[in-house]
Structure formats: C-alpha cells, structure tokens
Amino acid sequence: MITVFGSINLDLVVSVLRLPRAGETVSGPDHQTFPGGKGANQALAARRAGASVRMIGAVGQDAFGELALANMREAGVDLSGVRTLPGASGLAFIGIDEAGENQIIVANGANARVEADWLSGRLDDGDTLVLQGEIPFAEVRSAIDRASRAGTRVFWNVAPVPDESVLECLEQVNTLVVNESEAAAIAGSAGLSGTPEDFVERFASPSRTVVVTLGANGVLAGTGDKRLGYKSPAIKAVDTTGAGDAFCGALAAALDADKPLERALKEGVAAGALACLATGAQSSAPQEKDIAGLADQIV
C-alpha cells in the first residue's frame, strides 16, 4: 500500500510559441484545465502503475477543489484522507512552448496548511509513504519521523528543494529521488559540488537508494555499492510537465510491489517517457500495461 502525503492543485495550462522572459508577456490561443499538484500527480501515477494508493492532503472550499480530485477519484485512489479547508485550493499556472518545455508558478492555497498529524493510523509496517516538496517542510519532516517509527518505507522526491537543509532527514529515507538541479541544490547546502554521479556516490548507502533523473538522458541510481544507469527511450515530447511525477509514481509502485531495483528503475523511466507524449501532468500518466511494455525494451 502506498500513502501519498502531498499537494493537490488544479493546473491552468497555456500553450505558447515560446516561454516569456522576465517582464515579457506572451499569448497563447487558449487554455486548458487539468488536475495537478505533485502529490496528486504521483498518487495517480502510482495507481495507474498498479499500486493501491491513498492520498492525504487538502483542497479549499472553492470551485477548484472537486475538479482537482476528479482524476484520482475516477482511478480509485482512496481519498478518505483528503480534507476540505476554508479558503482557496492550490493552483498552478503553466506555460508550455513548442518543444514541450514549461514554466510553472504555483499558488499553494490549502496545501500550505496540511498537517502530518493527518497520517495518524494510516502508516503500517511494510507500506510506503511517498513525499514531495510542495507542502511545508516541517510537516514533511514530521511525516518522515512518523513513518520511520511505524516501519513504513519512505520515498522522498525532494521537489522543489526547501530552503531548510534536508540532510538531517536522509538517514530515515529509503528512496531519495531528485533531478540534476535538485541534486546540485542539496549538495550545495552541504558544501559539496560535482556531477550527478558524485551525488549518488555521496548519498547512496546500504539502507538508502538514491536516484537522479536526467531528463531525456535517463536516470542514475545507487544503493550500497551498486550503481545503475538507464537511458530514456527516444520520443518526440509534447509536454514534459508530468514526466518526473510519472517516473516517481511508477518507481514507487514497483518498489512497493518488491520488484528488483533494476526493473523498478526501468518502469520509472518508461513511465516518464510515456508521460511526455500527452498534455497535462495527470492526463499523461500511463497505464500499467503500457509501462511494462516499454520497460521491457530498456536495457
């Protein structure tokens, strides 16, 4: 069982010829609305990848709250731990250019008021807690402590990286997932520098798997003395917005099912690639059979 403790947003997406520079306005022909938020995205991605998933988080008492939950509800994610709080739901404003690259501004809304106490009674020995960085770091830190005491595996996608140092939490983390820029930010806070390979070498341990995603170049990972790397399949990207969350959801689902790390990474890479083929962070999350088919082709 996977429990996701994280953000729930509604994404407002505009396609543009190119992304704006500072102080510049660009126009697109229309906008689209998609459920989003890194927590909700990863919950849906893990569910579509075959896992049993519950979501713990919050929406506001506005017109956006139910829209933000629609995809998870349809997919069968357990939403009994999602609370409706006074005020606004989280919103993300996303611009996407012709190459599929994006710029994102997030209004936290109810996500800023989630509490780790809501996890009480929902963390079990052998289950997996999935966390990101779009909720207050103090609550993430508390959630990690709770999971550690309960014997629940901790899967932490440190995105975005908080202003506070994350190093004190790492001893309790079983799977750490970051992209290249996040790896550099965490290393910098520790007074370190170097390549993604150096980051894996520094933070991987017998009890902790460290994964650095490299976009179109695939993924690097390490656990104990084992080092792994897989290239991403060649694709024509339409929208990269949900790729990282699809990767995390599929990886978490595979690890929760006790699949070997090699296979779990391949399924994560496959899910991330497939997610680039459609617009929207959640609508692009691939199904289990499609992930498995593409993962079989990754060597």
Q: Which residues contact 260 (CB under 8 A, 6 or more apart)?
A: none
Beta strands in the chain (DSSP E): 2-5, 9-15, 31-36, 53-60, 78-85, 90-96, 102-107, 128-131, 153-157, 175-179, 209-213, 219-223, 226-230
Nearest to 76, CA basis, from 271, 287, 252: 287
Rounded Cα gap, residues 20 and 4, in angstroms: 33
Token pair of 203 as six digits: 């933070």
Which residues carry out catalysis? 245
Token pair of 145 as six digits: 């402590």
Residues facing residue 12 across a β-bridge: 33, 93
